[in-house]
C-alpha cells in the first residue's frame, strides 16, 4: 500500500502530540501561503549508523489549507517528506514517551 508522506507529516504535526511544537504561521495574505511552522529545538534522533545525535533545530512547514507537508530542515539540511515522517514518528514514540531522550 502506498503512503502519502506529505499528508502523514501534516497529520502528525496538526493532529497528534507534535502539535505542541507549533511555533508560528505566515501572515494572512502571504505570498508563501497559509503555512504553519513546527520547530523542534535540540532534536534527538538516531542516525544511519545507529548513533545518537542531537540537531540544534528540526523545522517542519505544513500548508494549513491543503493539510500537506511543504518543506523541512534538520539543522542546515533540507529533507524530504519521507525522511521527515520517519523523524516525526520516531519523536512521537521515543521523544514523547521516553523521558530520557
Residue spans of the domains in the chain: they are 5-95
Quote the distance between the C-alpha of residue 21 and its chain's center: 9
Whether 99 has a pLDDT exceeding 60, the answer reads no
Quick one: DSSP state of residue 20? G
Regarding pTM above 0.75, the answer is: yes
Q: What is the pLDDT of residue 56?
A: 96
Please, is 38 exposed, middle or buried when counting C-beta atoms within 10 Å of its C-beta (0-12, 13-18, 19+)? buried
pLDDT, mean over the chain: 90
The pairing of strands 35-46 and 52-63 is: antiparallel
pLDDT at 81 over 60: yes
pLDDT at 101 over 50: no
**pLDDT for residue 96:** 54
Q: Going edge to edge, which strands form the sheet with 35-46?
A: 22-25, 35-46, 52-63, 68-74, 77-79
Quote the cell numbers at residue 59.
523545522
Q: Tell me, what DSSP letter sits at residue 3? A: -
Res. 93: pLDDT tops 90: no
The answer on pLDDT for 2 being more than 80 is yes
Whether residue 76 is predicted with pLDDT greater than 80 in this model: the reply is yes
Amino acid at each position: 500500500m502506498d503512503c502519502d508522506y506529505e499528508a502523514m507529516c501534516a497529520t502528525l504535526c496538526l493532529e497528534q502530540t507534535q502539535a505542541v511544537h507549533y511555533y508560528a504561521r505566515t501572515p494572512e495574505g502571504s505570498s508563501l501561503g497559509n503555512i504553519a511552522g513546527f520547530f523542534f529545538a535540540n532534536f534527538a534522533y538516531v542516525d544511519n549508523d545507529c548513533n545518537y545525535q542531537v540537531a540544534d533545530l528540526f523545522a517542519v512547514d505544513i500548508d494549513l489549507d491543503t493539510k500537506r507537508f511543504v518543506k523541512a530542515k534538520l539543522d542546515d539540511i533540507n529533507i524530504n517528506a519521507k525522511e521527515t515522517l520517519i523523524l516525526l514518528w520516531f519523536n512521537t514514540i521515543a521523544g514523547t514517551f521516553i523521558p530520557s531522550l
